[in-house]
Structure 1
Amino acid sequence: MSVYADMKLDCRPDFVMLVWTESRSQADLSFFRLGDCFPTSFSAREAVFNVDINDCNFRRMVTGDQLTYTNDLTYTSSPDSRILAFTHPVVCAFQRPRDWYPPIYEPVFNTYGQGDLVFHIGLMNDDFSGPAKSTTFPLGSMIPIMASVAQETHQPMLLLLEECVAAHTPALQPDSRIYPIITNKGCLMDSVVSRSKFEPRQKTSEIRLSLQAFRFALGEEVFIHCNLAAWDPNSLDDTKKACYYVKEHGWQLLDNSALSYICDCCESSCKSRRTRSIASGKHGILEKAVLGPLIITDVNS
């Protein structure tokens, strides 16, 4: 057990127990969060988290023989509170098990508006029922991708993929080689030349993409960079949409085929507007996401 000032941390291979003891009487301990997890219990002086290490958005990193899980303990104070908001690092380090291999890279992104919004993007299996078992895809096969936003206390949100490009690096640089997938504020341009398509929604807070494996960076590591957008479901227009091309039918709007005229601008330019934030009481918020690495292999090589 490690002790940090007012924090006691007990790290186990499958769970974490954290106890924060607060000496300031003005603090409301219900405002503490471990990643995106609420306290398991709290009193006037203590906030207790007893959580699975695979929950709460713990970040995994392997360095040599060490497996490290990191997170943030945050306090979000009310506007009239004397206790300022702050963040405290949480670190659990273990000897790397011999049979442990890196999992699929599934980054999780946090942002805040009227309550927490937690964004997620990941590679899925063929029927989207669980995570993919492999990050290697033969050329021409389908790459199932699902993004979601956890809403908690938010009003219902519609999740969109506004822009996505493939690159050979985890960070985009001015000289990065890229392959455009989704452009023009939600147009799945890759569907014009492939079998890529958006799948029917199961929830407004999720979006599913079947992406046909492409030749770009064939045999190399590929990273997919996306802008995820959470919007008011009733505010679809040519800058807030999910459109894909259907052979012999043209552009289709995922969420309402009767409004597919919204997709007409995919062939030209969909006018961009400044994103308005939920925090300011408007309509939406954006978050950047990176998925990868994945590898596309040539079945003929």
Structure 2
Amino acid sequence: MLQRVVGMPSFLFLVISTLAVFSVTQAGVTVDCGKNSVSVRWVDVNSQVDPSLLRLGDCPPTQVSVNSQGSEAVFYAEFLTCNIRRLVTTNEIRFETEITSPTLSKATPFSYPVACAYEREDDWVPPLYGPLLFHTHGQGDLAFGMALMKDDFSGVATTTTFSLGSMIPIAASVAQQNHQPLILLLDECLASTTSELAPDSHVYPLITNKGCLVDSKNANSTFLPRNQWSEIRLSLQAFKFATGEDVYLHCRLVAWDPRDLDGGNKACQYDRTSSRWVLVDDPSQSSLCSCCDTNCQGRKKRGITADSTAVNAVIGPLVII
């Protein structure tokens, strides 16, 4: 299973067990992969780049030096920091990022890949609410989580293979910590055959237009009743898209003030019986969903904005047969 954070990492839930430690040296870059962190040493004799301007992910060096022998930058980062991406596949757990140079420099900008890969045990499954920390500009940290679930939502799914037409249970949550009460919403979800979205990616839309479950219009996909504001459950009907291939679900999670739902922050699904869009959390306000077939726009709320309380997540690979 894969979990991912974009703009944050790739996969949202992370467990590491029996990890090897290794070192790879190439082109003046030494990568030392530890159990929970990575150390990187960048050395260049002739570079015109100021080493203090280099970045590992979005983190600056922990140590720099410039002398007659050249420039050096040393980075140390734990795997849950610096916008390091996590990818969990059938056989391995992999952490990926890059060393990048500034675009405004005398030298040509460059990007050097950095990766640590570990063997994944056969019985490894991600915990439902493993932490993904996201800093919210002085309001503290929010911990988001997302996972495929068992049919009764009693725990994390032990399989990632689904029959066409069966239901795919998904749960997501946000730990509010010291924040005011927040409601968790799914702003967008797309299925793709790749773990990274690109302009030419083959995609199948599930949730679009700021919270409209478009897949409920032609299938039995549905939001489930909430147990609490900070959690959202989704039951997707397994679709024909890319049957037999690896499929990744790319979703954007948004934490919002539950007293201030609007056209841009909502959870809507299509009621085929009444042929109308319905606001899941308060059907009396279903007028907020009237834009689902056109173009939904929202407003920003002072102190809590969609930009400051949102993360991108990737779940997969899963296979539909």
Q: TM-score range by the shorter chain?
A: 0.5 to 0.7
For residue 89 of structure 1, the aligned residue among 73, 77, 80 is: 77
Which amino acid is the alignment partner of residue 310 of structure 2? L
Match for residue 54 of structure 2? none
Is the 1:186–1:239 contact (alpha carbons within 8 Å) kept by the matching residues of 2?
A: yes
TM-score normalized by the length of structure 1:
0.66
- The 3-state SS of whatever aligns with 2:132 is strand
Q: For the structure 1 residues 112 and 65, does the alpha-carbon distance in structure 2 shift closer, same or farther, using more than 3 Å as the test?
A: closer
- The 3-state SS of whatever aligns with 2:266 is coil
Match for residue 31 of structure 1? none
**Residues 12-57 of structure 1 deviation map (CA, whole Å, 9 limit, x = unaligned):** xxxxxxxxxxxxxxxxxxxxxxxxxxxxxxxxxxxxxxxxxxxx96
Q: For the structure 1 residues 102 and 64, does the alpha-carbon distance in structure 2 shift closer, same or farther, using more than 3 Å as the test?
A: farther
Q: Return the structure number with greater relative CO, CA threshold 8 A, min gap 6.
A: 2
Match for residue 60 of structure 1? 16
Q: CA deviation at 1:69?
A: 4.6
Match for residue 292 of structure 2? 266
Structure 1 segment 154-173 matched on structure 2, within 5 A: 154-173=179-198
Is the 1:62–1:68 contact (alpha carbons within 8 Å) kept by the matching residues of 2?
A: no
Which amino acid is the alignment partner of residue 100 of structure 1? D
Which amino acid is the alignment partner of residue 221 of structure 1? D
- The 3-state SS of whatever aligns with 2:292 is helix
**Residues 204-246 of structure 1 deviation map (CA, whole Å, 9 limit, x = unaligned):** 0000000000010100000000110000111101111000011
Looking at structure 1, the residues matched to 318 and 256 of structure 2 have their Cα atoms a distance apart, in angstroms, of: 29
For residue 282 of structure 1, the aligned residue among 293, 299, 304 is: 304
Which amino acid is the alignment partner of residue 212 of structure 1? Q
Q: CA deviation at 1:150?
A: 0.8
Q: For the structure 1 residues 111 and 90, does the alpha-carbon distance in structure 2 shift closer, same or farther, using more than 3 Å as the test?
A: closer
Give structure 2 stretches of 5+ with no counterpart: 1-11, 23-32, 39-61, 63-74, 80-115
Which amino acid is the alignment partner of residue 112 of structure 1? H
**Aligned length in residues:** 225
Looking at structure 2, the residues matched to 272 and 159 of structure 1 have their Cα atoms a distance apart, in angstroms, of: 16
- The 3-state SS of whatever aligns with 2:196 is coil
Looking at structure 1, the residues matched to 18 and 249 of structure 2 have their Cα atoms a distance apart, in angstroms, of: 22
Q: CA deviation at 1:135?
A: 0.5
Which stretch has the larger CA shift, 196-205 or 62-71?
Answer: 62-71
Looking at structure 2, the residues matched to 208 and 150 of structure 1 have their Cα atoms a distance apart, in angstroms, of: 15
Match for residue 112 of structure 1? 135
Is the 2:127–2:156 contact (alpha carbons within 8 Å) kept by the matching residues of 1?
A: no
Match for residue 243 of structure 2? 218
- The 3-state SS of whatever aligns with 1:60 is coil
For residue 223 of structure 2, the aligned residue among 198, 223, 242 is: 198
- The 3-state SS of whatever aligns with 1:262 is helix
Q: CA deviation at 1:169?
A: 0.5
Is the 1:157–1:232 contact (alpha carbons within 8 Å) kept by the matching residues of 2?
A: yes
Which amino acid is the alignment partner of residue 125 of structure 2? P
Looking at structure 2, the residues matched to 175 and 105 of structure 1 have their Cα atoms a distance apart, in angstroms, of: 32
**Residues 55-74 of structure 1 deviation map (CA, whole Å, 9 limit, x = unaligned):** x96553898999975259xx
Q: For the structure 1 residues 126 and 149, does the alpha-carbon distance in structure 2 shift closer, same or farther, using more than 3 Å as the test?
A: same
Looking at structure 2, the residues matched to 295 and 108 of structure 1 have their Cα atoms a distance apart, in angstroms, of: 26
Which amino acid is the alignment partner of residue 173 of structure 1? A
- The 3-state SS of whatever aligns with 1:163 is strand
Match for residue 70 of structure 1? 36
Give structure 1 stretches of 5+ with no counterpart: 1-55, 73-85
Q: CA deviation at 1:89?
A: 3.5
Which amino acid is the alignment partner of residue 211 of structure 1? L
Looking at structure 1, the residues matched to 271 and 313 of structure 2 have their Cα atoms a distance apart, in angstroms, of: 27
Match for residue 143 of structure 1? 168
Looking at structure 2, the residues matched to 121 and 291 of structure 1 have their Cα atoms a distance apart, in angstroms, of: 8
Kindly report structure 1 stretches of 4+ aligned residues shifted beyond 4 Å: 56-59, 61-69, 104-108
